[in-house]
Amino acid sequence: MAGFAVALVWVGVVWALWPRVNVGQSWIVAVTAPASVLGRRRAMRWEEFLLLNAGVYAGVGVVVEGVRAVRRRVRG
């Protein structure tokens, strides 16, 4: 759900700022789309970009859920 919320926020930003949208080098792009940092250094197909972003978000989700599980077990 969080990824969907991020996507909705980006749609709102683009609609609000169109046609003066130039956020490609901003820090917020790097935070919400981590694959964009690699994309600044080499050309990426959109499929690669989507898969890399999905992988980063999945990895973050696994770590967060692991930490939550350990904290629940410790609290008893």
Residue spans per domain, the chain: 2-75
No. of helices (H) and no. of strands (E), the chain: 4, 0
pLDDT of residue 20: 67
Kindly tell me if the per-residue pLDDT of 10 is higher than 90.
Answer: no
pLDDT of residue 69: 94
pLDDT in tens, 58-74: 898 899 999 999 999 99
Asked if 30 contacts 44 with a C-beta cutoff of 8 angstroms, the reply is no
Q: Please compute the mean of the pLDDT values over residues 10-33 and round it to a whole number.
A: 71
Q: Please compute the mean of the pLDDT values over residues 15-41 and round it to a whole number.
A: 73
Neighbours of 11 (CB within 10 A): 10
pLDDT of residue 70: 94
Compute the chain's Rg from CA coordinates. Answer: 16
